[in-house]
Amino acid sequence: MRDSAAPEREIRPPSRVNAALIRTAGRAAAVFQRWPWYWKVLAIWALARLFSFAVLLAVAAQQGLNPWGWAGTPSYLQFIGAWDSEWYQRIFAGGYPGEIPRDATGRAQENQWAFYALFPAVVRALAAVTGLGWEILAPLAATAAGFAAALMMYRLFVLRASSAAALWGVLFVAVSPVSPILQIPYAESLNLLLLSASLYLLVTRRYLAAVPVVLLMCLSRPVGVAFALMMGILFLRRWMLRKQAAFPRAEVLQMGILTAASGIGALAWPALAWACTGDMRSYTDTETAWRGDTLLLFQPWIVEAERLFGSVMGPVALLILLALTAACLLSEPVRRLGVEMQVWCAAYVLYLLAFLNPLTSTFRLLLPLFPLGLALASLSGSRAYRTAVALAFLVLQIVWVAWLWRWTPLPGGGDYPP
């Protein structure tokens, strides 16, 4: 009768090459652990940006006919200078129009007022000092702002989590599917720096120090409405709970000043556009020029849901999306972020639902929800889980660049915007 026991498999020692790789990896990990936190953060961010650089170069090599007139394979700087980078370059070179361009029916045409002034102003200041041009300085400024944002994010994350979890949170943001935008001449990296600094000062209750940072943030990207909403909610919450938790008069005044400054900052860019053009609706009309209609709160989400899933299933799909979003924002990992970051994420989601026309650019506009990177890292302490998430993000990063940054003309003309 044959023995049913399976024969023992011979366990072979690792080859010399594998053993050497294991030893090298172990030494590198040991050295990394001894580094101060800022070197760890900068190393993580640098490796992520190198990966994005390689992805952008590889996809650029596949770029065919395009509206930018590149002859042959575009260079890295040419490739990242496409899309909205062109609008920022126009602002850098010539500023904003004195009146809103309109067609024969009075509808606003696409123009520079849709893009906030801080990023091109920073690049112009650097050009005045260095004598270099937009093509060099804009990517350098965007990339440098991204490195500074990484340091600020870690300081914010470590207020609510361990150092290891904070590093993983920064890593998830660094390799997120839309993270190549953080080295492209867009305002996203500068806004991320100012937003993370604003949240850090808010969490540490340095309200007056946050005022100038918030005002600058409101001139970098349209996040001021969401920030003002968050501040209003937090102020009312502190006031209503003042009997359970002390709310000293000095703190009431300082938090009130920051709340008021946030509201002023939220209105600053539309007011500036009005003052410069004499047209009260210059900013809102310009923003809606890309969608081809007027500003109607929440409606674009309903229209897009019905277009994708039909008049019956569209609203159902939208309700499911809202339910999943609410469940995420109320989950334990998000609650562990602290009330400030939790309310920020909720306020920004509400802002997107109210004002955004959901297109492929929605993926990029989710970047201000970066605190969810820490929540994702806190979901499990398993290294296998965290590594799998990071690898999935790297793959999706390739998908985002190849699908949206690369120009691929649609049958009806144009392409999906990144």
Query: CA–CA separation, 282 vs 259, rounded Å?
Result: 26
Query: CA–CA separation, 324 vs 189, rounded Å?
Result: 28
Proportion of the chain in helix, strand, coil states, percent, rounded to 5: 70, 0, 30
What pLDDT, in 10s, does the model give residues 314-345?
Answer: 999 999 999 999 999 999 999 999 999 999 99
- Summarize the confidence of residues 156-172 as an average pLDDT: 98
Any residues with CB less than 8 A from the CB of 363 and at least 6 apart, and which? 177, 178, 400, 404
As a whole number, the mean pLDDT across the chain is 93
Any residues with CB less than 8 A from the CB of 51 and at least 6 apart, and which? 175, 394, 397
Residue 32: its pLDDT value, please?
A: 80
Q: Identify the band that residue 9 occupies on the pLDDT scale cut at 50, 70 and 90.
A: low
Q: What is the dihedral of CA 35, 36, 40, 45, to 10 degrees?
A: -140
Asked if 226 and 343 touch (Cβ cutoff 8 Å), the reply is no
Closest CA to 273 of 261, 292, 289: 289
Q: 48, exposed or middle or buried, with CB in 10 Å at 0-12, 13-18, 19+?
A: buried
Residue 12: its pLDDT value, please?
A: 65
Asked if 191 and 198 touch (Cβ cutoff 8 Å), the reply is no
- Summarize the confidence of residues 40-58 as an average pLDDT: 98
Residue 1 has pLDDT above 50, yes or no: no
Query: CA–CA separation, 331 vs 316, rounded Å?
Result: 22
Asked if 340 and 156 touch (Cβ cutoff 8 Å), the reply is no
Asked if 86 and 97 touch (Cβ cutoff 8 Å), the reply is no
Q: At how many degrees (to 10) do helices 224-240 and 339-355 cross? A: 130
- What percent of the chain lies above the pLDDT cut of 90? 85
Per-residue DSSP letters for 111-154?
-GGGS-SHHHHHHHHHHHHH---HHHHHHHHHHHHHHHHHHHHH
What pLDDT, in 10s, does the model give residues 365-389?
Answer: 999 999 999 999 999 999 999 999 9
Q: Where are the domains of the chain?
A: 37-405
Closest CA to 205 of 144, 173, 246, 176: 246
Any residues with CB less than 8 A from the CB of 120 and at least 6 apart, and which? 88, 89, 91, 92
Q: How far is CA 159 from CA 143, 302, 327, in A?
A: 25, 38, 24
Query: CA–CA separation, 226 vs 228, rounded Å?
Result: 5
Query: CA–CA separation, 221 vs 242, rounded Å?
Result: 34
Residue indicated by tokens 């569209």: 314
What pLDDT, in 10s, does the model give residues 217-241?
Answer: 999 999 999 999 999 999 999 999 9
What pLDDT, in 10s, does the model give residues 252-272?
Answer: 999 999 999 999 999 999 999
Neighbouring CB atoms inside 10 A of 367's CB total: 19
Cα torsion angle, 176, 79, 403, 349, sign: positive
Angle formed at CA 163 by CA 158 and CA 169, multiple of 5 degrees = 70
Residue 214: its pLDDT value, please?
A: 98
